[in-house]
């Protein structure tokens, strides 16, 4: 089986935000899909390791901001490569506004946002799938939506060239370079926290 075939699946990229008590938080997901039109309902799938996951499970509410091709890498560094468990990602982030449901959404590099209320949860082991009604929505710009493929080609920094004759392993998610012939199977990327399966071997 060639797992690279999975890269042929097309995804969008979104900032998923939640609020629990007075604490606001958010993360990046690529797993939002409209599932029915009547009612207007979508599914998101969120890693249980994410603080945002626990906040949505506790409150049943989230906002989904649709990123555009104008999104800078700093948005991914802020929402994707840090954990809300030990850092406040929201206070220092400027491009945001409060929606009617009291949760933030991302402005500037998004073409719209959806406010959602969870109606069903499905336990998928490492992740939970939340099925949710869209309770509010706003269009913010006409900029094209960011796809995962566009992110990899144009937004993510290009990996540094490996020195001649050396083997390096490049993180497909964030571009981090690990130098060495063998990547330990339990290796975790220090930047984006993805595992060894998301590294690609590059030989120069």
Rank residues 108 and 175 by Cβ distance to Fe ion and give the closer one.
175
Kind of pairing between the strands at 199-203 and 96-98: unpaired
Residues in the interface with Fe ion (CB under 5 A) total: 7
Query: How does DSSP classify residue 61?
Result: E
Rank residues 67 and 189 by Cβ distance to Fe ion and give the closer one.
189
* Cα dist from 193 to 69, 93, 158, 186, 204, whole Å: 24, 21, 18, 11, 25
CB of 174 to Fe ion, least distance (A): 3
Q: Enumerate the H helices of 31-125 as residue ranges.
A: 51-59, 73-80
Bridge partner list, 134? 116
CB of 89 to Fe ion, least distance (A): 17
Pick the stretch among 55-63, 117-125, 136-144, 176-184 that binds Fe ion (CB under 5 A).
176-184
* Options 99, 103, 116, 192; binder of Fe ion; rule CB under 5 A: 192
Helix, strand and coil percent figures for the chain, each rounded to 5: 15, 40, 40
The helix (H) or strand (E) run that includes residue 150 is: helix 148-150
Instruction: Give Cα 119 to chain centroid, integer Å.
Output: 22
Pattern of binders to Fe ion over 134-173, x per CB under 5 A? -------------------------------------x-x
* Options 27, 174, 178, 187; binder of Fe ion; rule CB under 5 A: 174
Rank residues 66 and 174 by Cβ distance to Fe ion and give the closer one.
174
Establish if 191 lies at the interface with Fe ion (CB under 5 A): yes
CB of 171 to Fe ion, least distance (A): 3
Contact 174, 199 (CB under 8 A): no
Establish if 27 lies at the interface with Fe ion (CB under 5 A): no
Q: Which tokens sit at 198?
A: 């998301």
Contact 149, 161 (CB under 8 A): no
Establish if 176 lies at the interface with Fe ion (CB under 5 A): yes
Rank residues 16 and 174 by Cβ distance to Fe ion and give the closer one.
174
Binding site for Fe ion (CB under 5 A): 171, 173-174, 176, 189, 191-192
């Amino acid at each position: 089986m060639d797992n690279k075939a999975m890269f042929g699946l097309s995804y969008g990229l979104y900032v998923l935000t939640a609020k629990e008590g007075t604490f606001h938080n958010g993360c990046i997901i690529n797993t939002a899909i409209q599932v029915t039109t009547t009612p207007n309902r979508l599914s998101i799938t969120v890693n249980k390791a994410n603080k945002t996951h626990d906040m949505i499970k506790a409150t049943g509410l989230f906002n989904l901001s649709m990123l555009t091709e104008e999104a800078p890498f700093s948005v991914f560094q802020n929402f994707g490569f840090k954990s809300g468990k030990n850092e406040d990602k929201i206070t220092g982030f400027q491009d945001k506004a409060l929606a009617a449901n009291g949760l933030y959404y991302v402005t500037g590099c998004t073409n719209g946002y959806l406010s959602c209320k969870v109606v069903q949860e499905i336990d998928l082991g490492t992740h939970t799938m939340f099925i949710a009604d869209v309770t509010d929505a706003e269009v913010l710009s006409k900029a094209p939506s960011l796809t995962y493929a566009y992110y990899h080609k144009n937004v993510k920094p290009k990996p540094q060239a490996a020195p001649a004759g050396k083997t390096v392993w490049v993180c497909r998610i964030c571009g981090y370079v690990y130098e060495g012939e063998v990547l330990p199977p339990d290796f975790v990327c220090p930047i984006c926290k993805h595992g060894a399966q998301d590294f690609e071997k590059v030989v120069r």
